[in-house]
Amino acid sequence: MTARGRPEILWPLFGAMSGLDGIGPKTEATLAQAGIEKPRDLLMTLPASGIDRSRKASVLDVRAPAVATVEVTVGAHNPPARKGRPYRIMVEDSRTPFEIVYFHARGDYLTRLLPTGQKRIVSGRVELFDGVPQMAHPDHVLRPDEAGDIPEFEPVYPLHGGVTQKLMWKATANALELLPDLPEWIDPGLMAREGWPGWAEALRRAHRPEAATEIAATALPRLRLAYDEVFAHQVTLALARARVRRKRGRPTEGTGALRAMVTAALPYSPTSAQRRAVEEIAADMAGPLRMNRLLQGDVGAGKTLVALMALLIAVEAGGQGVMMAPTEILARQHLAGLAPLAAAADIRLELLTGRDKGRERAEKLAALADGRIGILVGTHAVFQKDVHFHDLRLAIVDEQHRFGVAQRMELGAKGDGVDVLVMTATPIPRSLSLAQYGDMDISVLDEKPPGRTPVTTALVSTGRMGEVVEHLRSAVAEGRQAYWVCPLVEESEVSDMTAAEERFKHLRAALGEGVVGLVHGQLPPSEKDAAMAAFARNETKVLVATTVIEVGVDVPNASIMVIERAESFGLAQLHQLRGRVGRGAAKSTCLLMYQPPLSETGQRRLEILRETEDGFRIAEEDLAMRGAGDVIGTAQSGLPRFRIADLENQAGLMALAQSDARKLLSDDPDLTSDRGAAVRTLLWLMEQDRAIQLIGVG
């Protein structure tokens, strides 16, 4: 990030690390590898734990093994009799004699450090050997007049190659002296309610804790600093949201006629969650601002119906709608799901993919351009230059994480003030969805439509493979279909996981030719589609697959899901895979095959799946077990990497920061008030480049 425009008051925090005590070129390079490149980064690297170094009268006052800080009188030195033996020094505190032990230390250094007959303060870990206390390599040895140099409670920093605690202590002490007096950016009412200290005070207290409780994520200084981080992030997202919304939308109000026809044709009535989501979308579309909404629903929560109702609003208003899917298989499936409902409303629905060629494609494009096609379902082929709509009002993007923000905007550019609805079938814990999609408004489908059969989930060890294959044989004989998911594509020496290719051959031999199909990521798209289609038409009864089937394949007759080496998958992924069955009326089962012995977390993961089908609860558990970065895969998620904020333990801060940021920008859109100016400083401090570009600073 360029320094151009950075407020002068922040310059000391963005200077060179070599200006701090004890940091030379070598240490500077080591710290830079850990992402600590300037005093600001050092100050945002908080202690991970701490050590109680309060003075004790005797080592007998602590329960060994433990750290003790005592005053001793130094006795005799016993250098090692032969090489490799320890150097021992007898000392005595107010109640007992004990030994201080050094390995590989020079005698002349030790006689200067601990001169016989003199008093010294020593602090280190005490252990008992044959009932006798011993302190090896004390962390601190000081003269009594230097005792004040040892803090009562010493912070312990996360360290990087060759950097010592002593160095971190000195460098942070020096960096704390550089703290400028910054204007307060947190809302005064919120500060008072939470009892948070000011920013500089919070940093001083976080780096100089006085007890273990002050290192917890719930300590007030830490909560305050975490809030600064998530608030800066939410202000950035709120600025992005405000920018999208500033672009004029077009009010799109439906008559309700087409939606009424579809509702009448449904074999069930929509859930209250579906009705609520449709109302939220309709209100957005009718408003003057452009809609930018996320529809988040669990596996089988009925997102397709909500999407169709939204598309019908666009058509009722005399416009068109488009629904984008990341793959052709998914696009065809959306088409199959929407077609009967669109027919009930007498709407022309078409599919556009990369396969459309020649005259057929030209005819579709002409019908799209003159408004005869009301709803288009497609893959990224919809982005092509020659695709023109007559009057595009709504763009729906399915499985958002497969499309970038740039592609969302490209789609929006296909019409005038197009409303955008993004759908995802991946339940995300609220704190993460706010971090990832904070620039959007969110609708959640958190109940299942009636008629979906619960899936029975069982854990089976790989030793019972034969029984599972027999179970499959009888199920196939009854006309049922099954998925068999394998973790890897081909046998590799480094992994003992059975490959899809091998499992396919094994099952084909057991169940017969023509019964088993195979699909994996390495297959050419045409072969993949053909294998999926044969399974969907009930020609093949068992589909051996890698996780390519995780999202979207819908075969209501498939009622068995076998997941081999289930312990190697993430919770969210297992939940998505299980969601492929239970779509028809047949009783469905999911067998989680694992290789014993299971690790404690592996066992916990599989048990959670057995206990619940609630995707949101599963996602929260996943977050608690794996941490934020792993749950969505930070690299491609756009999820920020926070230095202080901990989304698992401080989840409530994110929602607080979002409402605060949105209110601030509605009251002060250009950040020109006193608080607005303070927030600009915060954005520079937190290196929120995107926000700084959005408000046109620097």
Architecture of domain 54-150: Beta Barrel (2.40)
E strands within 2-137?
49-52, 66-78, 87-92, 97-102, 119-129, 132-136
Q: How far is the CA of 692 from the CAs of 76, 388, 436, 677, 685, in angstroms?
A: 65, 35, 19, 12, 11
pLDDT digits (tens, 9 = 90+) for 468-523: 999 999 999 999 999 999 876 555 544 544 578 889 999 999 998 889 998 877 77
pLDDT digits (tens, 9 = 90+) for 275-289: 999 999 999 999 988
Two domains, one topology: 257-445 and 455-612: yes
Please give the full DSSP string across 658-669, using - where no structure is assigned.
Answer: HHHHHHHHHH-T
pLDDT digits (tens, 9 = 90+) for 87-116: 999 999 999 999 999 998 888 899 999 999
pLDDT above 50 (res 637): no
pLDDT above 50 (res 636): no
pLDDT above 90 (res 217): no
DSSP at 249: -
What is the mean pLDDT of the segment spanning 262-268?
89
What is the enclosing helix (H) or strand (E) of 467? helix 465-477
């004990």: which residue's tokens? 98
pLDDT above 90 (res 66): yes
Using the Cα atoms of residue 63, residue 69, residue 71 and residue 75 in order, give the sign of their dihedral.
positive
Give the percent of the chain with pLDDT over 90: 50
CA distance linking residue 458 with residue 281, whole number of Å: 39
pLDDT band at 382 (very low <50, low <70, confident <90, very high): confident
E strands within 61-197?
66-78, 87-92, 97-102, 119-129, 132-136, 140-142, 153-156
Between 165-174, 469-478, 686-695, the lowest mean confidence (pLDDT) is in 686-695
- What is the predicted pLDDT for the residue at 345? 92
Domain boundaries, the chain: 54-150, 257-445, 455-612
- CA 284, 289, 291 angle in degrees (round to 5)? 45
Return mean pLDDT, the chain. 86
257-445 in CATH: which number? 3.40.50.300
455-612 in CATH: which number? 3.40.50.300
DSSP bridge pairs for 97:
92
CA distance linking residue 118 with residue 55, whole number of Å: 18
CB 331 within 8 A of CB 351: yes
What is the mean pLDDT of the segment spanning 431-435?
71
Of these ranges, 23-32, 193-202, 608-617, 687-696, the one predicted with the greatest mean pLDDT is 193-202
Phi/psi at 294 (5° precision): -105, 130
Give the percent of the chain with pLDDT over 70: 90
pLDDT band at 274 (very low <50, low <70, confident <90, very high): very high
CB-based contacts of 275: which residues, under 8 Å, 6+ apart?
A: none
- What is the predicted pLDDT for the residue at 175? 95
pLDDT above 90 (res 199): yes
- What is the predicted pLDDT for the residue at 490? 54
pLDDT above 90 (res 325): no
- What is the predicted pLDDT for the residue at 147? 84
CB atoms within 10 A of CB 303: 23
CB atoms within 10 A of CB 508: 17
Burial string for 124-145 (b: 16+ CB within 10 Å, else e) reads: bbbeeeeeebbbeebbbbbeee
pLDDT digits (tens, 9 = 90+) for 234-244: 998 888 878 77
